[in-house]
Chains A and B, each alone.
Chain A
């Protein structure tokens, strides 16, 4: 113990303990699987498969980005779709003004990020259910605002001018382009999610999730960390919103700020395993598979949302850590694999 004492005060000599950051096999397997499966419709040119995958990838991007604030930081946000909607609106206005798509995408992300930054200062001070309630309020407030905001088309929304698609080889080609962009965004969000989780910043976020007061005492600058986590988690849906509504061709308040969408995203993250990169991916894809089945299975096709609600209840009651979290707990050997 004496030797350890002396060592304790000595400066750490370089990196004696190697941290395996970008070497996790579970992580790379996820990235490769998503990329390969995602490329399949592009290779085969199967348009109906593309539509199915588009929905799944949309969920994946939203769930993975929500996971940064919900899973890593421990703040339950019911307002994730706000950033999706705002990004969509900003993107549509920009596209109609003649801004090219590659310019509209970052604009959507930027608008969402700026909104998150402002909101963060105001509502991230609230803890637990108070924060969750505030995020619902933000969603409803923004929808009401856009409903009465002429530049965004008020209640009727905005339609994309048809000439916009011409620059991208017509409407059919634009659909494939949107799919490719979404797939790229999905791979990017998985990389981002993993980068955050394995960074010092991510360690601070997880400390906040476990015990915010203790984290503060240990020196985590909690207001900054929370705000940046919120901004990061908002940028992705902002960009994805541009892609989605570019493909959709029109946007209106009811589509852009659908609270139900936020709730479903929470179910996905909780189902897969909040706080794990893999969990958000599996949860999103799994939930969409289930939803697809329920929608096409006649006896229950109208009960899809009721089942989602019941599922959330069951998860919270019995497997609060989600599927990946449960496996991580039961089989510690897999912990390194299931990031």
Chain B
């Protein structure tokens, strides 16, 4: 297993952000992480990449116990991530931003090699012509691509994507999904947090749903989409969910709701 979480918990004061989460991730998989706001998804990312240690439980990455290791130690081992709220190094150029990933991440290249990698990576995410611009001058969609480029330039083994599609328009989402697909094609293992359903359903091999810091459901995208617990977590009561489903299945031709949805 590339990544193993064993009974991981994390509390902030009295708030249990994560309770007893156990999860394994084989190499090459794309794992989707779903859950309502405040379910603990980003907390889980922060624990995996060492921003803070878990209150209880162990984390193993590449067959080593990495519980409590610092983010830079994990980065050196081949972990990279993007942030939900973009964190560009504003006063550095786009190219320098990406070079930081290449210089200090998994493969720790020299400046010269990093410049080459940065050029390739920026071309890959479609930011090549912005290379000499200051990162702070990019728009949100471009900053999201920059975050991704920075993470990719490290040539990670495991990539954590925290809402890379949030705040993008449909055309930008399409382009970003295509990029994620191509990263996957290169054999990079990915965990992605996403609220854009059609995207995560299409891209993920497996989906895990968190609610109130607990593991609510786990399965293929199709299983998750039909799981009543998941529907309830997102939409409130199961009855309401059924009402909504019936609306979805509303047949425009004969003007009556489909009976199987109400059953």
| Residues of chain A at the chain B interface (Cβ within 8 Å) | 1, 4-5, 7-9, 12-13, 15-19, 199-200, 203-204, 206-207, 209-211, 213-222, 275, 332
Contacts and interface: CB of A to CB of B under 8 A. Distances in A.
Interface of B: 49, 51, 70-72, 75-76, 80-81, 83, 87-92, 96, 99-101, 103-106, 108-121, 123-124, 126, 132, 150, 152, 154-155, 178, 182, 185-186
B108 A218 contact: no
Main SS class of interface, B: helix
A242 B104 CA distance: 37
B121 A12 contact: no
Given A8-B121, A216-B70, 18 more contacts: A1-B124, A4-B120, A7-B123, A9-B186, A12-B109, A15-B115, A17-B112, A203-B96, A206-B92, A210-B90, A210-B91, A214-B89, A217-B81, A219-B75, A220-B72, A220-B100, A222-B72, A332-B132
Contact of B87 (A204, A209, A213): A213
B111 A216 contact: no
A1 B114 CA distance: 20
Contacts of A203: 96, 99-100, 103, 111
B111 A19 contact: yes
B152 A8 contact: yes
B115 A19 contact: yes
Nearest to B147: A214
Interface-centre pick from B103, B108, B132 (highest chain A CB count, 10 A): B103
A17 B186 contact: no
Given A207-B89, A214-B83, A200 B111 contact: yes
A7 B120 CA distance: 7
A204 B103 CA distance: 8
Nearest to B136: A210
B149 to A, nearest CB: 10
Contacts of A18: 112
18 contacts: A5-B182, A8-B121, A8-B186, A9-B186, A12-B109, A15-B113, A17-B112, A19-B111, A200-B103, A204-B104, A209-B91, A210-B89, A213-B51, A216-B72, A217-B72, A218-B100, A218-B150, A220-B104
